[in-house]
A and B are shown apart, each in its own frame.
Chain A
Amino acid sequence: MTIADPILEVRDLRTEFRRGKQTVVAVDDVSFTLGAGEVLGVVGESGSGKSVTMLSILGLERPVSGSVLFEGEELVGRSEAAMRRIRGDRIGMVFQDPMKSLNPVLTVGHQLMEPLRVHRGMDRKAARRRGIELLEMVGIPGASRRIDDYPHQFSGGMRQRVMIAMALSCEPDVLIADEPTTALDVTVQAQILELVAAMQRELGMAVIIVSHDLGVVAGMADRICVMYSGRIVETGRVEDVYALPSHPYTRGLLGSIPRLEVPPGSHLEAIAGTPPDLTRLPTGCAFRDRCRYVLPECALAPPPLVDVPFGGPAHRVACVLDVAPDAWRRRTEEIA
């Protein structure tokens, strides 16, 4: 499947950090395409590189190699000033912790009006009017009054609404939401997810939602990428990946969640061990030390993404195992 109308194309992205004398490869060989108006979910556990991938796209981290095409234009290597013109205007961002992303000494109105004045050249009055509209749009009661309040005067859920209003203020083509509901209670999370979905439909923007929560992604995304130790290990339409998880890690991840069909009190499938240290990644597949199906060839090289046999369109997996459904069944029987 090729994405009909790609708005963002990430190719062979690699981002490294220096830690003392060591090099940490946080993102390696990451490629994906985001179609206009599409919702892409990126899932993975801590250290999987999902957030660093987003920061690299936004130019907030500098990738060492690879390419990020936004509407056909290369973003990697652009100056900070050029990136600043794109961020907050064409690409909106929402992060996990609204308290850390908002300036505590400025009113939310001030912060909400800033992108409108900078990117849209609005005057104070017009920006304020638009700011009130935006707060109303994201469901903040008494918006014309609350625009003069400071961040601490809002609850966690309301602050995240303010962040979404800011991210949407210039009607971006792409919204990157990195764990937007992780710090929130579940009923507030439901409100925020509904809001993001409604805004996405209304504005027709593309969304990348990053989450460790497979439930959140299941409800929001059209397609997903599963990341492990800096690489995409599986990708495809969300229905295909959840119905036929083909990487042992994806299977383990889904098996680790107490889902409805798992008998209460029974053993969860869990994944043995812990994710590898990014400064000392094993050769070959990074998951092999935790993989119950490991083969000698897993140590050779990180496997490339290949089509899943009998899988849905663009369902791809980075694993040397035969991941056809009958092969999985045989293996599962052998182990049991």
Chain B
Amino acid sequence: MARPTRTAALPASARPEGSHDLVTVEDLEVSFPVTGGLLNRQVGQVHAVAGVSFGIRAGEILGLVGESGCGKTTLGRALLRLYEPTGGRVLFDGTDLTSLRGEDLRRMRQHMQMVFQDPYSSLSPRMTVGSIIEEPMRAHRIGSPAQMRARVHELLDLVGLTGEQAQRYPHEFSGGQRQRIGIARALALNPQFVVFDEAVSALDVSIQAQILNLLLDLRREIDLTYLFISHDLAVVRHIADRVAVMYLGRVVEMAPTDRLFARPVHPYTRALLSAVPEPDPVVEKQRRRSVLQGDVPNPVAPPNGCSFHTRCPHIRPLCVEGVPKLVEVGDGHFVSCHRWAEIDLEVSSSVTTPGGGA
């Protein structure tokens, strides 16, 4: 298979004054072996992340969206080196994480944490909430037992629970409360960067809103930077400053949130946004969807050229031939599409916006 085209790191023009990239991803690749047959030999490779570059600014919430199997979870985990990248680099505050080993890596990990989707399987049922939240401090040998207890109380307070609840077990809590516990654990070591992987997806909407409010408050109060991975575009529109859209292991579009939702350019982004049902019967009943045909191709054998060409309504011969580069098409707006200019012209001259409904 063709090697993904190298893309340049973000130009300086894409960054606001006075803020630097806390996390820089350069041409990151993560491949997994595919085994099969009697002897379980390796018969192929899945490029779950196939050459991705972007930066996350200090204090920013970057939304990462895409459908199942697009590689968004793998990318999130590779950033924290929970998966070993097979190519490219991840810089955290200037330090190349991919080169760190042993104690250096462990020390670096204090600064970056993760909150998982399932609040039922990510908390040990045999540990009290207090010891769950203390565990990262114990693992990194930070603080005396008394200091740890005090920190647990502080953290429970911070996420909207009470210090007395430290003695209880996870099963005594509801899904939303468990997710608060997961967040408290992630914040125990005072990280700078947190990856949220579908952290509100399993929750009922009324509870989801509580957690989103909490995440926004925490960012304001303790100066955090988030990568917020989600398949829910309405949630990402609400919480993220910038959004990256993934399809089959690649970022196909990235832009400031308001710009992406007002003026999406990549045909996949446009289809994705038009597929989101808006909770408004008036909007919904007059909306014309651009319904995508077919399914996502098998990631073991992705299509040549632009990986979206098998479903794209704008396909031309050149789309089958070469992988499009991620190019800047406007203020901090990056698109990987051979035909972006024509599509953008079409968008700006049409009356209706694709994502907004009316």
Q: Does A258 interact with chain B (Cβ within 8 Å)?
A: yes
B342 within 8 A of A: no
In the assembled complex, A305 has its CB within 8 A of some CB on chain B? no
Within 8 A of A (CB), among B163-205: 174, 176-177, 204-205
Which residues of chain B are within 8 angstroms of A22 by Cβ–Cβ distance?
none
A274 to B296, CA, bound (A): 37
Whether B278 and A259, one on each chain, are in contact in the complex, defined by CB atoms closer than 8 angstroms, is yes
Least Cβ–Cβ distance between B68 and chain A, in angstroms: 6
Tell whether A186 pairs with B231 under 8 Å between CB atoms, given A218-B281, A219-B277: yes
A257 near B272 with CB under 8 A, answer: no
8 Å CB contact of B238 from A155, A242, A262 = A262
Q: List A167-200 residues whose CB lies under 8 Å from chain B.
A: 185-191, 193-194
Does A81 reach chain B (CB closer than 8 Å)? no
B209–A268 contact, CB under 8 A? yes
A269 within 8 A of B: yes
Whether A270 lies near B206 (C-beta < 8 A) is yes
Tally chain A residues at the interface, Cβ within 8 Å: 45
- Scan A219-257; emit 1 where CB is below 8 A from any B CB, else 0: 101000000000000000011001000000000111111
Tier of interface size on chain B:
35 or more
Are B277's CB and A215's CB within 8 A? yes
Shortest CB-to-CB span from B255 to chain A, Å, is 14
Across the interface, do A215 and B204 meet the contact criterion of CB distance under 8 Å? no
| Chain A neighbourhood of B216, CB < 8 A | 265, 267
- Does the CB pair B237–A190 fall under 8 Å? no
Assembly CA distance A268 to B217 (angstroms): 12
Residue of B nearest to A257 (CB): B279
Instruction: Please give me the residue from chain A that is nearest to B232 by CB atom.
Output: A186
Query: Residues of A contacting B231 with CB < 8 Å?
Result: 185-186
**Contacting residues, chain B, for A45 (C-beta < 8 A):** 204-206
Whether B204 lies near A212 (C-beta < 8 A) is: yes
Tell whether, in the assembled complex, residue B292 and residue A274 are in contact, meaning their CB atoms are under 8 Å apart: no
- Tell me the minimal C-beta distance from B231 to chain A in angstroms: 7
Give B348 Cβ to nearest chain A Cβ, in Å: 20
Q: Find out whether the CB atom of B279 lies under 8 angstroms from the CB atom of A214.
A: yes
**Cβ of A185: which chain B residues have Cβ within 8 Å of it?**
67-68, 231, 296
When the two chains form their complex, are residues A238 and B281 in contact, meaning their CB atoms are under 8 A apart?
A: yes
CB atoms of A270 and B277 under 8 A apart: no
Stretch at the interface among B42-50, B282-290, B322-330, B333-341: B282-290
Q: How far is the CA of A213 from the CA of B234 in the complex (A)?
A: 12
Residue of A nearest to B235 (CB): A258
Q: How far is the CA of A274 from the CA of B174 in the complex (A)?
A: 8
Q: Say if the beta carbon of A264 comes within 8 Å of chain B.
A: yes
B278 touches A215 (CB 8 A): yes
Contact among A46, A255, A258, A262 with B204 in the assembled complex (CB-CB below 8 Å)? A46
Contact between A186 and B67, CB atoms less than 8 A apart? yes
Q: Which of A187, A252, A264, A274 contacts B237 (CB 8 A)?
A: A264
Q: Does B103 contact A (CB under 8 A)?
A: no
Task: State whether A242 touches B279 (Cβ < 8 A).
Answer: yes
B295–A157 CB distance below 8 A: yes
- List chain A positions with a Cβ less than 8 A from chain B: 45-46, 155, 157-158, 185-191, 193-194, 212-216, 218-219, 221, 238-239, 242, 252-260, 262, 264-265, 267-272, 274-275
Nearest 10 A/B pairs, CB to CB: A215-B277, A258-B238, A219-B284, A256-B209, A270-B209, A190-B275, A185-B67, A45-B204, A214-B279, A271-B206
